Amino acid sequence: MEVMKILTNMADLDNMFYSNNSYRAWIGLHADNWRWSLSNTRLYKPGEMEFRRWRVGQPNIEDSDKACTGMYPDGDWYDYDCDSSWYSVCADIKGSNVTFVIVPTYMTWPEAQSYCRAHYTDLASVRNMADNQKVLELAGGNWVWIGLFRDSMKWSDGSNSSFSFWKNRQPDNNNGNETCVAADFSQSGAWEDWPCDMERAFICYGPGER
């Protein structure tokens, strides 16, 4: 809060005017968005880390607890509460060979991740339609966890902090694309999530302040 007070006191509102007497500026907080539990990029070909098979209307995250991915019995993906319990599919990787393994035990997503890492390599990364079909066939009509999840908010300088100063009902990730954070200095610098491609004033570190 001390930092927020400093920013509020030094804010140049003339350079932050947005609309309706609101004065917003970007700060360095952002959502890391969807990524695979298996982060070894050497195992992916170009474009494979971005492969998605979302069901129409998905993901539709409305809160931070609904941030893990499962596969429907028809092969489409959905976002769901990570504390729900489903079967899971692990990836067993040996060299360039990837084998998928069904785990027919109900687990939460974190439990499934820990199990796959302890007994195989990691939760399954679905890199293309061929992988999607393999996982679908293993699932045998069951809903299963795969390794895609939405990470928490992070600071762009890599620092760790549990401090937050969100407005009421924020962040809401409206329309699934609000992954950057602005401070509203008409309300003491309280935070809101916004689409990253919107134009805002912004606040930088000064020399020697990092």
Inside any domain, residue 81: yes
Inside any domain, residue 207: no
**Gap between the Cα atoms of 179 and 33, Å rounded:** 7
Instruction: Return the C-alpha torsion angle 38, 107, 31, 50, nearest 10.
Output: 40
Is 43 found in the same domain as 11?
no
Is 45 found in the same domain as 6?
no
When pLDDT is averaged across residues 67-78 and rounded to a whole number, the result is 94
The boundaries of the domain holding residue 176 are 2-31+153-202
Residue among 10, 4, 17, 6 at smallest CA distance from 186 = 17
Total structural domains within the chain? 2
Hey, which residues does 150 pair with through a beta bridge? 34
Ramachandran bin of 52, using left for φ above 0, alpha for ψ from -120 to 50, beta for the remaining angles: beta
Least confident interval from 90-104, 111-125, 145-159:
145-159
Ramachandran bin of 63, using left for φ above 0, alpha for ψ from -120 to 50, beta for the remaining angles: beta
Is 191 found in the same domain as 98?
no
What confidence tier does 160 reach under pLDDT thresholds 50, 70, 90?
low
**Gap between the Cα atoms of 95 and 42, Å rounded:** 11
Tokens of 16: 């932050």
Is 57 found in the same domain as 11?
no
Asked if the model's pLDDT at residue 119 lies above 90, the reply is: yes
Is 144 found in the same domain as 42?
yes
Asked if the model's pLDDT at residue 62 lies above 70, the reply is: no
**Gap between the Cα atoms of 71 and 112, Å rounded:** 14
Instruction: Return the C-alpha torsion angle 22, 27, 33, 38, nearest 10.
Output: -170
Give the global pTM.
Answer: 0.63
**Gap between the Cα atoms of 4 and 24, Å rounded:** 13
Is 191 found in the same domain as 88?
no
Choosing from 112, 133, 150, the residue where a domain stops is 150
Is 86 found in the same domain as 120?
yes
What confidence tier does 209 reach under pLDDT thresholds 50, 70, 90?
low
State residue 19's pLDDT score: 57
Inside any domain, residue 184: yes
Is 165 found in the same domain as 140?
no
**Gap between the Cα atoms of 101 and 145, Å rounded:** 12
**Which stretch of DSSP H or E encloses residue 9?**
helix 2-10
Is 89 found in the same domain as 191?
no
Is 186 found in the same domain as 121?
no
Is 100 found in the same domain as 133?
yes
Asked if the model's pLDDT at residue 116 lies above 90, the reply is: yes
Tokens of 166: 């969100």
Hey, which residues does 56 pair with through a beta bridge? none
pLDDT above 90 covers what percent of the chain? 41
For residue 115, the one-letter residue type is Y
CATH number of the CATH domain containing 170: 3.10.100.10
Beta-strand relationship, 180-184 and 190-194: antiparallel
Q: What is the DSSP letter of 166?
A: B
